[in-house]
Amino acid sequence: MRFNGLVLAASAIVLGACGGGEKAATTDTAATAAPTPAATATTPATAPATGAAAAAPATGATHDVKMVMDAKGYHFDPADITIKAGDAIRWTMVSGGPHNVAFDGATLPADAKGQIDANMPEKMMELSGKMLLAANETYTISFANVKAGKYDYHCTPHLAMGMKGTITVQ
């Protein structure tokens, strides 16, 4: 009896490990299937209509901003920064995390919103960068192809505590 139970348990494990393999192969095949001519013909026509921008790498200097929680409260240091178009900003989590960098899409000009979003790597969602959890962890955004202007941003977890900043692109 003990041997039959062992064989039954081993068989269940083997079958469980093998199950679903065929389904994954079907998914892979579907994902690599060549697009139909109709799909290829409509893709370029619809791409410009969406207004999606391509990520643009920084071509200028990289400026540093610290994300801090200290006796002054939660804040970016410096809170207001002026950069040139093409520069990048690297935020470093110093203390009081988690922190992130996020923009309010309702306050951004439509012609800048898409480029800023495209230049943000590892996003949690539109216009919201990943959470920085560990000290010295960084997050960098390129401001290449971003038009001149003033852009307000904030830390989502600490917005209610006034963790806000302004980026002026010249």
* Active site members: 99, 155, 158, 163
Q: How far apart are CA 85 and CA 149, in angstroms?
A: 10
Q: How far apart are CA 145 and CA 57, in angstroms?
A: 9
Q: How far apart are CA 111 and CA 101, in angstroms?
A: 20
CB-based contact 99:158 (threshold 8 Å): yes
CB-based contact 113:104 (threshold 8 Å): no
Tokens of 16: 């469980």
CB-based contact 139:90 (threshold 8 Å): yes
Q: How many CB atoms lie within 10 A of CB 48?
A: 8
